[in-house]
Structure 1
Amino acid sequence: MNLLNLKSLPHLIPALSLLVVSLGAPALADDEAIDVTEGGETIVLLQDNSLDNWAIHVDPRTEPYSPESKAEGIFTVKDGLLEVTGERFACLTTKEAYKNYHLVLEFKWGEKKWAPRADVIRDSGILMHCVGPDKIWTTSIECQIQEGDCGDFFMVGGTTLTVDGETKTGGRFIKSPDTEKPNGEWNTIEVICDGDRIVNIVNGTVVNDGTGASVTAGRIALQSEGAEVFYRNVILKPIAR
Structure 2
Amino acid sequence: MKPAKLLLLPILCAILFGFTTFLKKDHWKQLFNGKDLTGWDTYIGPDLDDTGKPISSTPIGLNNDPRHVFTIVKDNGENIIRISGENWGAISTKAEYENYHLQLQFKWGALSWGQKKGKKKDSGLLYHSVGKYGADYGAWMRSQEFQIEEGNCGDYWGVAGGIADMPAIKKSGTEYIYSPQGTLMVFSQDSPQSRHCIKQGDGENPTGQWNTVDLYCHGDTSIHVVNGKVMMVLYHNRQLDNGKELPLTKGKIQVQSEGAEVFYKQIKIQPIDHLPAELIKQ
What's the TM-score, normalizing by structure 1? Answer: 0.78
Q: Distance in 2 between matches of 1:157 and 1:137?
A: 8
1:127-206 matches, within 5 Å, as 127-135=126-134, 136-164=139-167, 165-170=184-189, 171-206=195-230
Q: Distance in 1 between matches of 2:126 and 2:48?
A: 25
Q: Distance in 1 between matches of 2:207 and 2:96?
A: 32
Between 1 and 2, higher relative CO (CA 8 Å, sep ≥ 6) is seen in: 1
Determine if contact 1:65/1:88 at 8 Å carries over to the other structure: no
Structure 1 spans left out of the alignment, 5+ residues: 1-39
Deviates more, 1:53-62 or 1:187-196: 53-62
Q: Distance in 2 between matches of 1:108 and 1:49?
A: 19
What secondary structure, in the 3-state scheme, does the structure 2 residue paired with 1:99 have? coil
Structure 2 spans left out of the alignment, 5+ residues: 1-25, 53-64, 168-183, 190-194, 239-247, 275-282
Q: Which has the larger radius of gyration?
A: 2
Corresponding pairs, count: 199
Q: Distance in 1 between matches of 2:49 and 2:260?
A: 17
Q: Which amino acid aligns with 1:149?
A: N
Determine if contact 2:218/2:273 at 8 Å carries over to the other structure: no
TM-align CA RMSD: 1.9
Q: Distance in 2 between matches of 1:239 and 1:49?
A: 27
Deviation at 1:65, TM superposition (A): 8.4
Determine if contact 2:199/2:231 at 8 Å carries over to the other structure: yes
Identity of aligned residues (%): 35
Determine if contact 2:164/2:236 at 8 Å carries over to the other structure: yes
Q: Which amino acid aligns with 1:45?
A: L
Determine if contact 1:71/1:87 at 8 Å carries over to the other structure: no
What secondary structure, in the 3-state scheme, does the structure 1 residue paired with 2:114 have? coil
Aligned to 1:107: 106
Deviates more, 1:111-120 or 1:212-221: 111-120
Q: Distance in 1 between matches of 2:44 and 2:260?
A: 15
Aligned to 1:37: none
What secondary structure, in the 3-state scheme, does the structure 1 residue paired with 2:203 have? coil
Q: Which of 229, 232, 238 is the aligned partner of 2:262?
A: 229
Q: Distance in 1 between matches of 2:143 and 2:113?
A: 25
Q: Which amino acid aligns with 1:127?
A: L
Q: Which amino acid aligns with 1:158?
A: G
